[in-house]
Structure 1
């Protein structure tokens, strides 16, 4: 059995720890590197110490050291950090699984360019359930193309720094594409004061931040006399970790190219 050598960025964060635990429990993977920002109190500590099973991999802020023996880097950090990691990975042939959200168009273009040199799975949400939900939304949008108002409501923990969430935006993009619309033109991200009557072609977004909510997303198709709600609720980050490992396995035989979770799950 081939063992995949995986490094994790943001190793001391909530998602990083979950990824390290998932790798430790996977029969076909081994933790090859652990990366964190300079100044983190975790620097120099064993990456799996929190699991009670030290693995001998020390958390470092040196990208070259963290990726010396790695074939893959899983990155759920911040856009500015991910883009630095991206440049190195493209130059050294390290494959990437990118779950970071909040990229601007230039950042997305940089990821597409890097994918010419190495293989990348880039998705705003690595959850298998979320990606099946996206497929359901695509189907629903085509049936609710007229006579239904579309609103996307998302909720996350108090520490999330971008809004709307990458998953909510992806839901909007999927729906808009199914309807032949451009989300940049029809997305409504704030309402206050006298807003006037709702534009029937618009797709509205509402954002909630509070507590330790892992991630809730609901799309409301509101018609006359009925409404349909399609929801996904995460109770643990473990679903993102498992999806990320599935993405790494998918990339194992890819030399380069840009893929998403639809590709990983065979939903395209």
Structure 2
């Protein structure tokens, strides 16, 4: 990217909740310019100016043709796995970098993203919030210090429209905790409990999911010991934090033509 001119940025899911928050952030960022706005082919927003919901004119009409990606340097994508994978292939074709906030990928899709990162720069994180990523760093420290004698439970809550569970952020919390204790999440996660479960296995990391209303995103990790418990929580009241984190991620990619990164890399938390 040329740092002397505004970054030409595309937004996927332009008429969705997160898409609109990203467009609003881009409109306010002097070093960024919205250049492509994508949505599904059946979206009623097609053909409308992407910033019309703000009472502004961006000069960019919402469209569904992925060939338009040739007109941007980086695409920000908070959609769904199947959409993101189609966008990924188009970005590789056109040499466009990506900031991926989509969650719910399976192993094969993650492998395809990793392979694509050999050709383009990608920042992928289930949560772009600076606060969430600082929370992950705190969890890493807590997990090392509380590796024995404490039961670990992860509780997350999101709005009624979220389609995957547990949330990508909750899973990343589990992965960070497990790795800090020399384990893998796949070997110790418990995602549901029903019926006669027996006594709790102290080696497990439990997950609980809440869906309702318009909750943007709440996450709490409970370390429950004998006589005390430690709770580390992050609560989002606006998607604006995700949008600002995404802009930090695209700026990070400016000097990196290829590679797969996350928000720890962007924020220098390694």
TM interval, short-chain normalised: over 0.9
CA RMSD of aligned residues (A): 0.6
Residue 23 of structure 1: aligned partner: 26
Distance 2:101 2:124 in 1: 6
C-alpha displacement at 1:262, in angstroms? Answer: 0.3
Hey, what's the Cα distance between the residues in 1 that align with 2:132 and 2:174? 13
Instruction: Kindly indicate whether residue 56 of structure 2 is the aligned counterpart of residue 53 of structure 1.
Output: yes
SS in 2 for 1:46: coil
Q: Residue 70 of structure 2: SS of its match in structure 1? A: coil
Q: How many residues align?
A: 267
Deviating above 3 A after TM superposition, structure 1's stretches of 4 or more consecutive aligned residues are: none
Structure 1: which 5+ runs fail to align? none
Q: Distance in 2 between matches of 1:88 and 1:10?
A: 15
Q: For residues 137 and 92 of structure 1, what CA distance do their matches in structure 2 show?
A: 38
Q: Deviations over 1:138-190 (max 9, x none)?
A: 00000000000000000000000000000000000000000111111100000
For 1:170 and 1:98, the matched residues in 2 are separated by 15
**What is the rounded CA distance, in whole Å, between the counterparts of 2:192 and 2:71 in structure 1?**
46
Aligned counterparts, 1:73-88, within 5 A: 73-88=75-90
Instruction: Tell me the residue number matched to 2:196.
Output: 194
Instruction: Confirm or deny: 8 A CA contact 1:34 1:57 kept in the other structure.
Output: yes
2-side partners of 1:93 and 1:256: how far apart? 10
- Per-residue deviation, 1:7: 0.4
Q: CA deviation at 1:68?
A: 2.8
Question: Could you say what secondary structure the match of 1:6 adopts?
Answer: strand
The offset of 1:2, in angstroms, is 2.8
Partner of 2:160: 158
Per the normalisation by structure 2, the TM-score is 0.98
Structure 1 residue 110 corresponds to structure 2 residue 112: yes
Write out aligned runs for 1:116-131 (5 A).
116-131=118-133
Q: Normalising by structure 1, what TM-score?
A: 0.99
